[in-house]
Amino acid sequence: MLRMSSLFLRTLRDDPSDAEVASHRLLVRAGYVRRIAAGIYSWLPLGYITLRNIERVIREEMDRAGFQEVHFPALLPKEPYEQTNRWNEYGPELFRLQDRKGGEYLLGPTHEEMFTLMVKGEYSSYKDLPLSLYQIQTKYRDETRPRSGIIRGREFVMKDSYSFDLDDAGLEASYQKHREAYIKTFARLGLKYNIVSAMAGAMGGSKSEEFLAPCDTGEDTYVLCEKCGYAANVEAMVTIVPPGNPDGVPVLEVLNTPNTPTIDSLVAVLNENYGGGYTGADTLKNVMLVADTKAIAVLVPGDREVDLKRLQANLSGVQELRIFEEADFAQYPGLIKGYIGPQDAAQSGIRVLADPRIAPGTSWVTGANQRDRHARFVVNGRDFTPDEYVECAEVRAGDLCPTCSEPIVMDRAIEIAHIFQLGRKYAQALNLSVLDQNGKSQIVTMGSYGIGVSRAVAAIAEQTHDAIGLSWPVEIAPAKVHIVATGKEDNPFNVAEELANNLEKSGITVLLDDRRDASPGVKFKDAELIGIPVIVVVGKALEFGNVEVRVRRSGEKSEVSVADASTFISNVLIANS
């Protein structure tokens, strides 16, 4: 039993000045966490209990699925990470340090190497597979900008699992098993989420999905089709390719379009001088970028911007992308800013990437590569040919769903889990192989499955808080019942004490506010701020032999007799789980 009289807790009346998002603000005010440095937090008793409750739920579901828990150090030697080249690839985000002898170490940002080597050390036969191992460990990433309190820290707790299989079918099965275990886990954690298709990203691998918990303060934007349920990270959103019909399109015509360096100014001139009905969507924007020192041209419809994140996510092997600057234009005198078209790209040797909307056979108005000139009836496949199609135009609410063609909506969310099929990248690099039925050596294929554990505390706080405080789901609340004793007589305190004991005996955890010196107002405010799901007030109603039972989330209040209180409360808890 937790007692307010002795609990290591000081709630704050004012919002801390360095906290912006609700989860951060409330977790600090309610005395769950304290900031130590940017993106680094300490957990106080209430917060630590909550964090461990989340760990417990995750652990139970992982174990139930047959995965086995192991534990690795956070402090790791660099050698395995050199073998996979991540000592270099991970860049400045990796916390690196030296021991007294000058040996180089890192604080693990993720543990693929360790898991792979652990399995390699023990197993060497296909008969040992499939295998899934997991750990719950503190991870370290020197984020360029930690933000939003607990949501993006430099030190955080993560559950990561890895599956090991002989072949693709096995990997798919392990992947589905994890996916199902995650669905059960998040249901128990009381999180609302969407499973969206995602990019495998720099980790390599193929299939990848994210579990995104919708909330305004989330960092990820995703699209959702309310009709068919299609959901995708904006980076992974697939565009419907429009039909192209080049038949009957007149030959390319160069137009005189003075002072039209922008799409808006171009559309105005087109409508004035060259027939009406033109919109930005009829024009083709030729955006010049530099991809790792090489100039590239990117084609998108004139009414859309290039989404650099999407482009980068869909371009393999490009580390750095930036837009053209004056100095870059100076190196390509053939490129006239505001009047660029893809027609001459082949001879200039610049690689041309096109958004799928710029489909073969479609006809566009675009730059004529001469100052104050544009060209119309520019047909893809006839007048220019992109080197490659890549998803790169910005995604908008109302764009059409790739599976059912209904308009999609967009929302923000916190990424609470990411699962993907890693494939053989790490097994290959570290030579994890087993003998198959024919005695032949086979590289193992792996899956990787992470849950942000400390982040889940914040995500749940974000989704469940209200104007007056936190409001935890029953399963993870630091206690299930918060009993407030009021008044100056001994009686309410004795009754509260007895009720608390009864509940604890039946396995219901209690936070008892047994402070004799705090006013009722203070106790109520604290209870609401702390956010335990059921608040029981032992005070005035005792006159009639009753206590008051309040449901934190709904605000619903009932009076029940002291004798019936335990039973009533456990029913309320069940009803609210």
Partner RNA sequence: CGGGGCGUAGCGUAGUGGCUAGCGCGCCUGCUUUGGGAGCAGGAGACCGGGAGUUCGAAUCUCCCCGCCCCGACCA
Q: Which residues bind RNA (CB under 7 A)?
A: 10-18, 20-21, 24, 29, 35, 37-39, 93, 109-112, 139, 141, 143-149, 152, 158, 160, 200-203, 219, 308-309, 312, 321, 418, 448, 450, 468, 486-488, 516-522, 524-526, 528-529, 537-541, 548
- 484, two tokens: 């407030």
**Quick one: 181 or 434, whose CB is closer to RNA?**
181
Q: How far is the CB of 12 from RNA (least distance, A)?
A: 5
Q: How far is the CB of 509 from RNA (least distance, A)?
A: 22
The CA distances from residue 352 to 342, 361, 387, in Å, are 7, 16, 5
Residue 272: burial class (beta carbons within 10 Å; 0-12, 13-18, 19+): exposed
**Quick one: 91 or 103, whose CB is closer to RNA?**
91
- CA 159/CA 69 separation, integer angstroms: 10
**Quick one: 230 or 420, whose CB is closer to RNA?**
420
Closest Cα to residue 531, out of 47, 44, 34?
Answer: 47
Q: How far is the CB of 512 from RNA (least distance, A)?
A: 15
DSSP secondary structure letters along 425-447: HHHHHTT-EEE-TTS-EEE-EEE
**Quick one: 224 or 289, whose CB is closer to RNA?**
289
**Quick one: 141 or 285, whose CB is closer to RNA?**
141
Q: How far is the CB of 527 from RNA (least distance, A)?
A: 8
**Quick one: 14 or 247, whose CB is closer to RNA?**
14
Q: How far is the CB of 550 from RNA (least distance, A)?
A: 7
The b-or-e profile of 88-112 (16+ CB within 10 A means b, else e) is eebeeebbeeeeeeeeebbbbbbbb
DSSP state of 50: H
Q: How far is the CB of 282 from RNA (least distance, A)?
A: 27
Q: How far is the CB of 542 from RNA (least distance, A)?
A: 7
β-pairing verdict for 131-140 and 68-69: parallel
Task: Tell me which H or E stretch contains 474.
Answer: none
Residue 33: burial class (beta carbons within 10 Å; 0-12, 13-18, 19+): buried
**Quick one: 471 or 486, whose CB is closer to RNA?**
486
- 372, two tokens: 């104050």
Q: How far is the CB of 384 from RNA (least distance, A)?
A: 27
Task: Name the packing angle between helices 453-464 and 22-29 (round to 10°).
Answer: 100
Closest Cα to residue 192, out of 210, 215, 224?
Answer: 215
DSSP secondary structure letters along 231-296: EEEGGGPPPPPPP---TTPPPPEEEE-TT--SHHHHHHHHHHHS-S---GGGBEEEEEEEETTEEE
* Cβ contact 421:223 at 8 Å: no
Q: How far is the CB of 246 from RNA (least distance, A)?
A: 35
Q: How far is the CB of 276 from RNA (least distance, A)?
A: 36
What sign does the CA torsion over 150, 151, 154, 158 have?
Answer: positive
**Quick one: 152 or 374, whose CB is closer to RNA?**
152
**Quick one: 113 or 355, whose CB is closer to RNA?**
113
- CA 372/CA 339 separation, integer angstroms: 7
One-letter amino acid for residue 394 of the chain: E
Q: How far is the CB of 140 from RNA (least distance, A)?
A: 11
Residue 520: burial class (beta carbons within 10 Å; 0-12, 13-18, 19+): middle
β-pairing verdict for 75-77 and 104-107: antiparallel
Q: How far is the CB of 160 from RNA (least distance, A)?
A: 4
**Quick one: 411 or 528, whose CB is closer to RNA?**
528
* Cβ contact 465:28 at 8 Å: no
* Cβ contact 111:135 at 8 Å: yes
- CA 103/CA 202 separation, integer angstroms: 27
- CA 495/CA 511 separation, integer angstroms: 14
**Quick one: 266 or 432, whose CB is closer to RNA?**
432
Q: How far is the CB of 111 from RNA (least distance, A)?
A: 6
**Quick one: 16 or 190, whose CB is closer to RNA?**
16
Q: How far is the CB of 128 from RNA (least distance, A)?
A: 23
- CA 443/CA 115 separation, integer angstroms: 15
**Quick one: 345 or 470, whose CB is closer to RNA?**
470
Which ranges constitute the DSSP H helices of 433-544?
453-464, 491-505, 520-530
Task: Name the packing angle between helices 45-64 and 453-464 (round to 10°).
Answer: 110
**Quick one: 33 or 255, whose CB is closer to RNA?**
33
